[in-house]
A and B are shown apart, each in its own frame.
Chain A
């Protein structure tokens, strides 16, 4: 009897350390933030001294043009980078899914950007974008073109390029893994059935990779909504509000404007957005599982 109880408790005991850390490092701050978002709270007060204001912070934000601008920058940034990264990453994977000499070296090179710390990436690109001594403008000028005002006029585009450079490898690796786990014989059958290389991609490879690609894309999207360091280092959100993504605005609201309650409410808006994406991701995986189960049931019913 005792042994049985112990047996049943074992998994919980193993999970306990992780659960405790989760509670301290995640749930507690989260609860604190949600609580704080309903209060008019500045950093000189303790949270107990702050005044309860209900949904005021949320409502103010909803009608705040600066926040809306920030949200729209974030959405633009996230969707553009993810779209570009998906196209490039999957395209690269399709190109490099073959056995050529030196391919393993090439693959390693391709995933290097992902391994660099975001702050370093930001610094690197800031120097490369520098209007007078930066790599790009020096190069353009040596070819006789005018320099481009990278981080000024074209700031959003510039940060998008940097992010695409850094995160395309993520999509590339996962797409390549998906490609290499495709059933080889189905592709051979397609070749015999008369499919050209392009038709194989459209009719066989992409549809079979789709489950992995959808989840990869959603993961990237979630990540892109939270981007901070690279943009902070490159533009600090400027010029104007042109690259001020929500994460940056949150940190500025908390530190510069000293409105902790508003910053918390902003975080909650972002959190809700991310939650929506995460739920979508789980729904998709569940849907796939359900489909597989239905198929298994059909076999048994025969």
Chain B
């Protein structure tokens, strides 16, 4: 079944344009995650694909077929909603079979299908219950089962896990990942949670302010963020940003800021346009390691302000000059608040961004 393609997709509410020409192509059976902060247009994009919002401009293609004028029911898709959107007056079995009953499928077939999907999501014992008598996690499963029962080629998920508590969310995320292995379909998943995006996606599409910031595999986006927004959005704890100048000292390029001087690896320095001197240095916490004897050009001196104990690791909130920097450290390392520690920077972990535009250099 078809690739889904968005071509210059625009959404306006009156004069307010919230989506500014989205171009996106998803491969067959790909799990695409639209991720971004609230108000970035990700849900609007999904609802336009579903047909719940009209398209102001541009076109949506399923394969070669333009679908933007079709009713939701004629687009052949299934959707899981954030608040589950179950039919409160129907029991679980009827919720799951609603679409099939509308299609007037034979009773035996419907029964078999309900049984099958109920087993997949583990709801067999609850088929006679109404949604009101189910917990959040169970309702979530009913919503999944209902989508699965339709045998659609396209699955849409609108923040399906965000109404669950943290523990259940982790569990459902794992179940989704397993289901994703069994069900080879086109899936588009909207979330604001970058962990969901990283763990589930074949392709991540990072959105902000109605634009696509970057798209690609989770690894690609994590390793080579196109701009400061993507770099800061993906990864936990988030990337540290330090304002600095590029300065050439004895043939080596350094990023120099208040209280630090970091050597830029030769191959990276080579590719840089050196006229651009004001940059933002980006380093992920995972690329900083505690090294008391690291040479000056390869390390940061950080003053520890707060230590958050999270088990084997502690997250340290530190300052370097005016900038705050987050690092991770094995919890058994003896440190004191207010102490200044030296952390070595992994050379491959150095990211540079244009300070004005935020684009990666």
Q: Which residues of A pack against B, CB within 8 Å?
A: 183, 185-186, 188-196, 199, 203-204, 207-208, 210, 292, 294-296, 298-299, 302
If over half of A's interface residues share one DSSP class (helix, strand or loop), that class is named, otherwise mixed; here it is helix
Whether A189 contacts B132 by the Cβ 8 Å rule is no
Whether A191 contacts B85 by the Cβ 8 Å rule is no
10 A-B residue contacts at CB 8 Å? Answer: A183-B85, A189-B146, A190-B87, A192-B50, A192-B78, A193-B73, A194-B103, A195-B73, A302-B135, A302-B138
A5 CB, min distance to chain B CBs, angstroms: 41
B123 CB, min distance to chain A CBs, angstroms: 12
On chain B, the number of residues with a Cβ less than 8 Å from chain A's Cβ atoms is: 31
Whether B168 sits at the interface, judged by CB under 8 Å, is no
- Name which residue of chain A comes closest to B135, CB basis: A299
| Residues of B close to A302: CB separation below 8 A | 135, 138
Whether B81 contacts A194 by the Cβ 8 Å rule is no
Mask, B89-108, CB within 8 Å of A = 1, is 10000000011001100000
B285 CB, min distance to chain A CBs, angstroms: 38
Give the CA-CA distance A193 to B102 in the complex, in Å.
8
Whether A189 contacts B87 by the Cβ 8 Å rule is yes
- Name which residue of chain B comes closest to A189, CB basis: B85
Q: Which of B85, B89, B99, B135 contacts A188 (CB 8 A)?
A: B85
Whether B85 contacts A208 by the Cβ 8 Å rule is no
- Name which residue of chain A comes closest to B102, CB basis: A194
Whether B52 contacts A298 by the Cβ 8 Å rule is no
B255 CB, min distance to chain A CBs, angstroms: 49
Mask, B32-54, CB within 8 Å of A = 1, is 00000000000000000011100
Whether B129 sits at the interface, judged by CB under 8 Å, is yes
> Which residues of B99-148 have CB atoms within 8 Å of chain A's CB atoms?
99, 102-103, 129-130, 132-135, 138, 146
Whether B358 sits at the interface, judged by CB under 8 Å, is no
| Residues of B close to A294: CB separation below 8 A | 133
| Residues of A close to B296: CB separation below 8 A | none
| Residues of B close to A208: CB separation below 8 A | 88-89
Give the CA-CA distance A292 to B84 in the complex, in Å.
19
Whether B52 contacts A186 by the Cβ 8 Å rule is no
Mask, B304-337, CB within 8 Å of A = 1, is 0000000000000000000000000000000000
| Residues of B close to A295: CB separation below 8 A | 130, 132-133
Whether B243 sits at the interface, judged by CB under 8 Å, is no
| Residues of B close to A185: CB separation below 8 A | 81-85
